[in-house]
Amino acid sequence: MSKKYFGTDGVRGTVGTEPMTAEFAMRLASAAARVLVPEGGTVLIGKDTRLSGYMFESALEAGFVAAGADVLLIGPLPTPGIAVLTQVFKADLGVVISASHNPYQDNGIKFFDGLGSKLTDDVEMAIEAQVEQPAVTLNSMSLGRAKRIDSARNRYQDFCTATFPGHLTLEGLKIVFDGANGAGYKVGPRALADLGAEVIPIGCSPNGRNINDGCGSTNPALLRTTVPAVGADVGVALDGDGDRVVMIDENGELIDGDQLLYILAVSRQESGLLKGPVVGTVMSNLGLEHALRAKSINFLRARVGDRYVLETLRESGGTLGGETSGHMIVLDQTTTGDGLVCALQVLAVMKQTGLPLSKLASGMQKYPQTMINVNVRKRVNPTDFPAIRQAVSTAESELKDTGRIVLRASGTESVIRVMVEGQDAAAVQALARRLADVVTSAAG
């Protein structure tokens, strides 16, 4: 059975439209409590900086407390910080109110289990089986309690800085930090400064409506101009909930998740710390696979979504994986994708080698890649359409071994993503446009 509400990363949508309503959030909390939180258990709730976060925080708190769970309210903190603190406070469940890189009009709800890991598909299905039921309200003696935790940011900040090698500091580095006006707007600059860096913050003035607006990992144009303009060594950009990171080299060039993965993999191999294969996704650039192969590093591809990267890492015994978008997982440091922790690992490589970011990334050649998002009537599997299958087969025969084609349905939108990559940029663009037209005709 397919899931009705849970997508690639929790439940997400436009605020005020089902399922992102206060009433649904209360039912979702009640359902999650019945499935995952024993009576008397504890739930930890954090959020990003969206205005609607207050509403969903209150609704979730009511749903959990009414079902008998104690609630710890953390306030704005990056998603990976909730994963860490769920373990620190020995909670049964961690909840994040965030729509990640989406605009402020959207919001979402996602969960971590007591070990700081995202829920499996089976558990999400079990919650969905309960969510259509009215929210449970126990008798007064059985209700949970709620309280705010004021030390949360400091605890997560200390966790992040502890992942940086103890014999190194960031002294001598000038870093421009872009917090996307999101959940990492405080903890990011303070962690970098604590390690000795000179920090220039941008995108660190949230007002409830400017999250991801012209800033952050999905909009790094300002960061790209700021880094060379102020003579900085590097730029770091998180997304709205802090689980993605991209970096900017000293020349203002974007270093994406594939390149960061290459830098960390090579560094760990050279130091003897690389375990198992490196894991990307079906959307990872072919240049990453070829560059790792040249270093005799095994590379595996998972489904899109950091949860599937994590699953593949655990199955294969690997510790390093990520996505082009900057969802980076460094399992020898934490349990989930963490933009700040990943950035600190890359900065450590810069300090250890004395090399600029541009030089560290130069060993990987990115192949031209074109992706077109095709709006469709409803979420569908593109391979269900014979015309699309035939068009893909024809295009693959034209590319042969010089490129790849990936068609996939978005996990959060009614969109088919058409991705083509190869060595010839013009041919890649033409093939992507041709396939997008076929998808539009068949499923649009």
Q: d(Cα 122, Cα 127) in Å, to the nearest integer?
A: 9
Instruction: Name residue 358's beta-bridge partners.
Output: none
Catalytic site includes residue 296: no
Among residues 30, 52, 98, 100, which one is catalytic?
A: 100
In the numeric block, which tokens belong to residue 220?
Answer: 């790094």
Instruction: Name residue 112's beta-bridge partners.
Output: 94, 118
Helix (H), strand (E), coil (C) string for 211-256: CCCCCCCCCCHHHHHHHHHCCCCEEEEECCCCCEEEEECCCCCEEC
Instruction: Name residue 408's beta-bridge partners.
Output: 417
79 and 96 in contact (C-beta within 8 Å)?
yes
Task: Identify the CA nearest to 421 among candidates 386, 440, 395.
Answer: 395
Instruction: Name residue 369's beta-bridge partners.
Output: 421
Task: Identify the CA nearest to 107 among candidates 3, 11, 247, 210.
Answer: 11
Instruction: Name residue 322's beta-bridge partners.
Output: 328
DSSP reduced 3-state for 87: helix
**What amino acid positions are annotated as catalytic residues?**
100
